Amino acid sequence: MTEAEKKNTSLKRITDKQRFQYIGFEVFPGQPKKMFKSDAEKEKMVEAVRAKRAKLEALHALRDECTLLEERVSFSDRVILGVACLAMIVSLFTPWYSAYNEIEETAQAAEPAEEVVTDSPLVSDSAAFVMGEGDSLAAALTGAASPATEELAVEELGSDPYAQVSAEEVIHGYVARKRTHKEYERLSGIGSFAALGSAGSLVFSSGVVLVLTGVLFLAMTLVCLVVPLYTLYGLFGLKGNPDSRALRLKRLLRFNWLPLGFFLAAVILSFLGAEYGFDAVVYFTSIGESYGPAALLNTLSWGVYISIGASIMLAVKGVEI
């Protein structure tokens, strides 16, 4: 390269002053100021950066406060997620399934009033309601009327021949009412394994839909026991730096979607419907004569919904990490 070419190349290079003027869209449009007030401050800053670089904290070497290095899962988050895990485990010992029978009670009838039989035209339906206020109820029931009552009845009835027809009346003092009460039987999530020989045999002897539903809920019960324990280990037992622990915990929390998936699959299957392989009314009136969505939702108890709610909370946190 000739001397003339070298001179032309040097003319195209920008100076340090020009560089400061245009970095960051004219951060320093004028004369740049000194970054440090004194050489001592400059030396202090340089030593602090070298110390951070020696610890391999590259991002902290650039900024004192860096959000990229904040802990992804704080201690309060771990406590809340731990409580959700415990709620899933405890829900297994609460009622998951319930059914009831409607028992009809025998109504106790009151003593009926005595029959009123009379040939007097004064004790007809119309005459009974025109009695004076001074007449007693006993007089109305026995047919005995005072002279004043007879005169009042004759005045009210007039000469209408149809109003003076003799009648026989039977007055009852009670109305029979049908009363029923419900007798519940409940089963916990863990207890469903012990009931495989009784209630389970009825379910697995029915149609394919009921068999698959029973398998789904048994799998859901196992998941609600294993996944929370595994999640607790991920929250408090993992080793390593905070970033690696958070990433491993994120993978563990994904398994908490399984209870919701099993539940939705069972609900979808219930719309297909199925016939029971046994006389359902003999056992429980709440499950109806055939299986469907109403029978499924009437059978599930509050323990199932607690476990699903806690698992959703854990799974959503996995999405946030």
Rounded to whole angstroms, the Cα distance separating 134 from 313 reads 75
**pLDDT at residue 180 in the model:** 78
Quick check: 60 pLDDT over 60?
Answer: no
β-pair type (116-117, 179-188)? unpaired
**pLDDT at residue 266 in the model:** 95
Lowest mean pLDDT among 61-65, 109-113, 240-244: 109-113
Mean pLDDT value across residues 16-28: 60
* Per-residue confidence band for 140, with pLDDT thresholds at 50, 70 and 90: very low
**pLDDT at residue 98 in the model:** 92
Q: Which pTM does this prediction carry?
A: 0.61
- What is the 3-class SS of the chain, one letter each residue? CCHHHHHHHHHHCCCHHHHHHHCCCCCCCCCCCCCCCCHHHHHHHHHHHHHHHHCCCHHHHHCCCCHHHCCCCCHHHHHHHHHHHHHHHHHCCCEEEEEEEEEEECCCCCCCCCCEECCCHHHCHHHHCCCCCCCCHHHHHHCCCCHHHHHHHHHHHCCCHHHHCCCEECCCCCCCCCEEEEEEEEEECCHHHHCCCCHHHHHHCCCHHHHHHHHHHHHHHHHHHHHHHHHHHHHHCCCCCHHHHHHHHHHHHHHHHHHHHHHHHHHHHHCCCEECCCCHHHHCCCCCCEECHHHHHHHECHHHHHHHHHHHHHHHHHHHC
Domain boundaries, the chain: 16-68, 71-105+183-320, 116-169
Q: Tokens 């020009």 label which residue? A: 18
Calculate the average pLDDT of the chain.
Answer: 76
Read off the pLDDT of residues 76-86 as tens digits, 9 standing for 90 and up.
999 999 999 99
Cα of 145 vs its chain's centroid, Å: 68
